[in-house]
Amino acid sequence: MADRKRRQSRRWRIALRTDIDTEINKANQQLEDFEKIRKYHILNRDFSEIANEVTPTLKLRREVIHKYFSVEIDQLYG
C-alpha cells in the first residue's frame, strides 16, 4: 500500500512540474531574456505565520525565509 501511494505521489509531482513548466514556457515567450524564469523550486509547504515567515498581514519576512530555505535558494542562484 505504501509503495502504491508513493508511486501515485511521484506521478502527481511529475504531472505538477510538467504543468508548471508548460505555463512558465508560455509566459517566457512574452518576456525579455532578463525577465524570464529559468529555475524554480516547489516547496513542500506554505510559508507560515507560526514559523514567523510571514507577518499577520501575510508580508514575507525575507530574512527568516532566507535562513530556513538557504539551501534551496543557493541551488537556484548559486
Q: What is the DSSP string of 7-76?
A: HHHHHHHHHHHHHHHHHHHHHHTTS-GGG--------SS---TTTTSB-TT--B-HHHHHHHTHHHHHHH
pLDDT of residue 47: 96
pLDDT digits (tens, 9 = 90+) for 14-51: 999 999 999 999 999 999 999 999 999 999 899 999 99
Question: Alpha-carbon distance 52 to 62, whole Å?
Answer: 10
Cell numbers representing residue 56 in the block = 499577520
pLDDT of residue 34: 97
**CA-closest candidate to residue 44, choices 9, 3, 18:** 9
pLDDT digits (tens, 9 = 90+) for 47-75: 999 999 999 999 999 999 999 999 999 99
Q: pTM value?
A: 0.73
pLDDT of residue 9: 86
